[in-house]
Amino acid sequence: MESQKKLIHEEDWDILVVLDACRFDVFEDLYDGYLDGNLKKVKSEGSFTVEWLKKTFDEHYDLTYISANPFVNSQGRDFGGWRATEHFSRIYDAWLHDWDEENDTVRPSSMKNLSLSISGRKIAHFVQPHYPYLTLDKGFNWDNVTGGFGSNSLRQKFSDALVRVLGRSRARSFVHFLKGEKPMEDFERNWVSEYGAIGIIRAYKANLIAALSAIKDIAKEGNGKKIIVTADHGEAFGEEGYWGHISGIDIPVLRNVPWLEVD
């Protein structure tokens, strides 16, 4: 199987769309209702966003990173020793400027508009299909991270966004992980027990469809730009006892991701 990292750095593209936590098999089942192109399965460097970032982007790159995920931020915040400002010439903090308070996420439509309006070679990192799930009737309890990132307004926005991307329990655990206090734990079982496996998978697919619809518009309005669609890592639906995704797990559903060259 080809290396995604090798393709990212050696292939010619104008817009690299990164879908957060996108399984290859679900993408394969759904993409051709929205996009035409050549799809192949490639191997990601990680099973969690920070792990993927550290292993995939280890030099400096002259491009813009449009990020709905606060792990990539222009504020100089580092995760596990990796700091986005040391690796990308320009960063647009969609998680800070374009957050939809009603849906607790950056909507795919906002990422579409940013992808089309920001000039130059770029990576557009969508939240979807990662939760929060747009179709669920009730959201998660987005409490602030206790013992988190400080009290000023910018840091509060950062911690709020991190909580929303990760979920409250996982975000708190990630803070402990960064401090070296305890390892990451698999908290996804909590929301699986709340919504049911079928409900979670259905909502996950709906999130992916929303992202694919936005990418379809990017391709239509992109004036011939070469677009690649891929993912940072996959998502487990109970395989080998895992739900969601955590760092350092080398199982196919977390490491096998799509690479679609959009026609």
Q: What is the pLDDT of residues 185-224, one digit of tens each?
A: 444 556 666 677 888 899 899 999 999 999 999 999 988 9
State the pLDDT at residue 32.
96
- Measured CA to CA, the distance from residue 213 to residue 206 in angstroms comes to 11
The predicted model gives 240-249 an average pLDDT of 84
State the pLDDT at residue 163.
62
- Domain regions of the chain by residue span: 2-130+205-262
The predicted model gives 107-133 an average pLDDT of 95
pLDDT higher than 50, residue 144: no
In the chain, which ranges are E strands? 2-3, 15-20, 37-43, 61-67, 78-79, 82-83, 88-93, 122-129, 227-231, 236-237, 243-244, 256-262
Predicted confidence band of residue 178 (pLDDT cuts 50, 70, 90): very low
The predicted model gives 28-57 an average pLDDT of 97
Residue 97 phi/psi, 5-degree rounding, is -95, -20
Query: Above pLDDT 70, what percent of the chain?
Result: 78
- Measured CA to CA, the distance from residue 243 to residue 253 in angstroms comes to 10
- Average pLDDT of the chain to the nearest whole number: 84
